[in-house]
């Protein structure tokens, strides 16, 4: 059995250049084999210094390349499903950036399509592979903060100050807006902490009439028995990605919980634990590259034939909640999660 997955990348997106290509070089079981671009000359300029072995002219050529085992898809959101299924048709394993589809129905088509072809597929939620979250769950399981009553998660980046209206995140037909781009992380965190699905959602969004996308979205997820997840995302606030878990005996704060760093040189992360009397202590965790850890975990599954570490059920559950949030914000009334 091979000891490394030969990766091909579709497109020279910023996330590929900044995070995934360096992570592929660092991962113990990965090898970057090629990158596909519809403009190879421009891609060569964009990729200068990254030592990409081959630049292939066109996505079709790469997915049918026999020297490629798996394909990473960092294309605009509306292209994720199509190219994931095309790559599966070509017999490749697929790692696709979130969101894997524009809604639950499209995501389900991708998973069903790949399953029918026995093609491993995983949605790329890199943050779940960072060890800080395992530590948070351990603290909760040990009863350090008592029974969890509320999760608050927020992710934002200021895209409005620069006036760059050509950003792909501003195109509604391309799956733009904060909910799909960033809200997918915050809903995932609430579901991860509570370990179950919410029963219903209420939501509000700031919908830009000219761009046709949500610039800010806030949702309240009802997990039953008085347990609540408050999640928000915004293109109009300073860059931060944090969450806190509030229990009956204390609180856990994770200041860099969603995006501790984009590059492979991720600094140490800190978890703050406070008891009911306000006493505060900090736990510092070693530096870790969650992109590298994600590639290694999925790579192990590809090489061994085991299921992907992030399952279809996890992704579909998250998409179902995102669909409900969009409907609740649009209609201005609560939406049961089972009624989307």
Question: What is the share, in percent, of the chain residues with pLDDT greater than 90?
Answer: 81
pLDDT category, 265, cuts 50, 70, 90? very low
Q: How far apart are the first and last CA of the chain?
A: 44
Higher-confidence position of 340 and 214: 214
Distance CA 297, CA 294 (A): 5
Distance CA 234, CA 154 (A): 8
Please tell me the predicted confidence (pLDDT) of residue 133. Answer: 94
Structural domains of the chain, with CATH: 5-124 (3.40.50.720), 128-291+320-336 (3.30.360.10)
- Does the pLDDT at position 271 exceed 60? yes
Matching residue, tokens 């669909």: 323
b/e per residue 291-310 (b: at least 16 CB within 10 A):
bbbbbbbbbebbbeeeebbb
Give the CA dihedral 317, 155, 24, 191, nearest 10 degrees: -30
Lowest mean pLDDT among 15-29, 80-94, 202-216, 276-290: 276-290
- Does the pLDDT at position 262 exceed 70? no
| Mean pLDDT of all residues in 313-326 | 98
- Does the pLDDT at position 339 exceed 60? no
| Mean pLDDT of all residues in 276-298 | 90
Record the pTM: 0.94
| Mean pLDDT of all residues in 253-274 | 71
Using CA atoms, how far residue 328 sits from 56, 205, 270, in Å, is 43, 9, 34
Please tell me the predicted confidence (pLDDT) of residue 166. Answer: 78
- Does the pLDDT at position 337 exceed 50? yes
Question: What is the share, in percent, of the chain residues with pLDDT greater than 70?
Answer: 96
User: What's the 3-state SS for 272-326?
Assistant: EEEECCCCEEEEEECCCCHHHHHHHHHHHHHHHCCCCCCCHHHHHHHHHHHHHHH
Please tell me the predicted confidence (pLDDT) of residue 301. Answer: 98
Does 99 sit behind a cis peptide bond, omega within 30 degrees of 0 on the bond before it? yes
Residue 268's Cα: distance from chain center in Å?
20
Mean pLDDT of the residues in the chain = 93
Four-residue CA torsion sign, 102, 108, 113, 119: positive
Continuous segment of H or E residues that includes residue 251: strand 250-254
């Amino acid at each position: 059995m091979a000891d490394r997955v030969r990766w091909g990348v579709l497109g020279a997106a910023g996330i590929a250049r900044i995070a995934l290509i360096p992570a592929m070089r660092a991962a113990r079981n990965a090898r970057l084999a090629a990158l596909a671009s519809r403009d190879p000359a421009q891609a060569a300029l964009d990729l200068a210094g990254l030592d990409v072995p081959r630049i292939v002219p066109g996505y079709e050529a790469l997915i049918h390349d026999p020297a490629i085992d798996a394909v990473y898809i960092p294309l605009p959101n509306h292209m994720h499903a199509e190219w994931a299924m095309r790559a599966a048709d070509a017999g490749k394993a697929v790692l696709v950036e979130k969101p894997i589809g524009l809604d639950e129905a499209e995501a389900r088509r991708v998973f069903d399509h790949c399953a029918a072809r026995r093609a491993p597929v995983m949605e790329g939620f890199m943050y779940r592979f960072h060890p800080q979250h395992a530590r948070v769950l351990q603290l909760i399981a040990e009863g350090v903060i008592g029974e969890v009553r509320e999760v608050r998660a927020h992710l934002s980046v200021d895209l409005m100050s620069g006036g760059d209206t050509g950003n792909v995140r501003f195109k509604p037909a391309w799956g733009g807006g904060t909910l799909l781009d960033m809200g997918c992380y915050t809903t995932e965190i609430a579901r991860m902490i509570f370990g179950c699905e919410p029963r219903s959602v209420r939501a509000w969004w700031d919908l830009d009439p000219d761009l046709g996308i949500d610039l800010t979205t806030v949702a309240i997820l009802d997990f039953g028995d008085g347990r609540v997840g408050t999640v928000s995302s915004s293109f109009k606030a300073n860059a931060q990605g944090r969450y806190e878990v509030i229990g009956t005996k204390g609180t856990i704060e994770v200041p860099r919980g969603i995006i501790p760093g984009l590059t492979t040189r991720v600094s140490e992360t800190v978890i703050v634990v406070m008891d009911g009397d306000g006493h505060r202590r900090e736990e510092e965790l070693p530096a870790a590259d969650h992109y590298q850890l994600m590639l290694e975990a999925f790579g192990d599954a590809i090489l061994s034939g085991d299921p992907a570490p992030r399952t279809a059920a996890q992704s579909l559950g998250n998409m179902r909640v995102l669909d409900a949030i969009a409907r609740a914000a649009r209609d201005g009334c609560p939406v049961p999660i089972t009624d989307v």
